[in-house]
Amino acid sequence: MNEHGQARRVLVVGGGVAGTTVSIFLKQLGYDPILFEKRSKMGDVGGSLNLAPNGLKAASFANLDGPLIDAGAEIDNWKFMTPSGEVLTDFPIANPVKERYGYTFVGVKRTKLLEVLHKAVEETNGIKLKLGYNLKQIKNTPTGVTAVFQNGEEFHGDLLIGADGLHSTTRYLLFGDNVATYTGLTQVIGIADIPKDIRGDPNTFLNVAGRGAHFITYPFNKNELCYGCTQRDEPASESWKEVDVDHAKNSLFAKWSPVSSIIENSTKVIKIGLYDRPSLKSWSKDRVLLIGDAAHATSPHLGQGANQALEDAYNLFCVLKRHSNVQEAFEEFYKIREPRTTALVTSARKYGEVRVCDDEQKCLERDEGYKQLFENGVNWEVFDKTYKI
């Protein structure tokens, strides 16, 4: 770090969406990022996720929007149904959303997404990627910050960015034991071959909401889809370990239409607990900054986890571009991002409760709301709060 507080070498901890993307943005600004990922190989990770217009817009400033769209399936329709098969609404979302924001929604397999981002990192000259590096300790020094890893190796940089997810070691080392909060809900996540009875339909983001449970599914390529089944349950870990398909077949929603045929076609099933994190008064300390889930982990009910990670990377790029002093940049970054992400975390948790309500009258009111969702087209005032950047 020079006499003006300008940094050169940046240690980025975490090779997920936030870490890879911010490394590419940092290189655009002339920094020298080193990206550390605790896994020794990426492998097959999780299920899929929904890239939204705001995330794709943020990614476009790093020229990542095209590769990300090509990696998945653009969503044509949003559809809401009851377990008996009654269609509450079926709206062609793609064109109006593209016209307003430049992008529609894209379903993409998480493994494929990370492949695209890691390829972009490898093709960006000057970014060093180190796999199998599990953070152990952070030491601030008069000349910067040192990251100590479980394998005994140490690396020195001007800054350290903690992008190491829900169970962030960086966050723990900065602020102590701040346990992730269980939302009271679990989710069975599956990958399935698209059943014959819905193959050939428009790419649809389908919600089926019943009493005490909720099912969502969308394709991520022409042959496969991902689904998520949410219900109340005892706390489960967020470990992304595979379980037997019977976890899905024996659940509340297994006989719903058209859920049963999707579950029968499952090729992979995972059960996880859904967690979020309380807001912090600061995301930085000395020369260390948190971004992504390490700063503001959310439950998945608004589909904004990865999209907010992309927004973080872009916004950090913007504030570093405006400020020569990194402390000033970190402070502005927090002022911009904390209110937005906190509001989304809160809204996601509330929407999760609506999805799995068990009271008959409240379920009827929820379903009536779904019926009216697109009666007058898209409610842009509501959409803009999430998807406009």
User: Could you report the per-residue pLDDT of 76-86, keeping only the tens digit for each?
Assistant: 999 999 999 99
Q: What is the pLDDT of residue 49?
A: 95
Confidence of residue 91 (pLDDT cuts 50, 70, 90): very high
8-50 confidence digits (pLDDT tens): 999 999 999 999 999 999 999 999 999 999 999 877 777 899 9
Q: What is the pLDDT of residue 249?
A: 74
156 is written with which tokens? 């020195």
Rg of the chain in Å (alpha carbons): 21
In this structure, which amino acid lies at residue 128? K
**pTM, full prediction:** 0.94
Segment 226-254 mean pLDDT: 77
Segment 153-182 mean pLDDT: 94
Segment 49-63 mean pLDDT: 98
Q: How far is CA 165 from CA 26, 180, 181, 308, 336, in A?
A: 19, 11, 14, 12, 20
Question: What are the beta bridge partners of residue 207?
Answer: 80, 216
Map tokens 């929820």 to a residue: 366
Segment 137-150 mean pLDDT: 96
Query: Over 90: is that where the pLDDT of 120 sits?
Result: yes
Query: Over 60: is that where the pLDDT of 379 sits?
Result: yes
Q: What is the pLDDT of residue 241?
A: 67
Q: Could you give the CA distance from residue 142 to residue 372 in angstroms, rounded to a whole number?
A: 60
Segment 242-268 mean pLDDT: 81
171-216 confidence digits (pLDDT tens): 999 999 778 899 999 999 999 999 988 887 889 999 999 999 999 9
- Is residue 322 within 8 A of residue 332, CB to CB? The reply is yes
Question: What is the pLDDT of the chain when averaged over all its residues?
Answer: 93
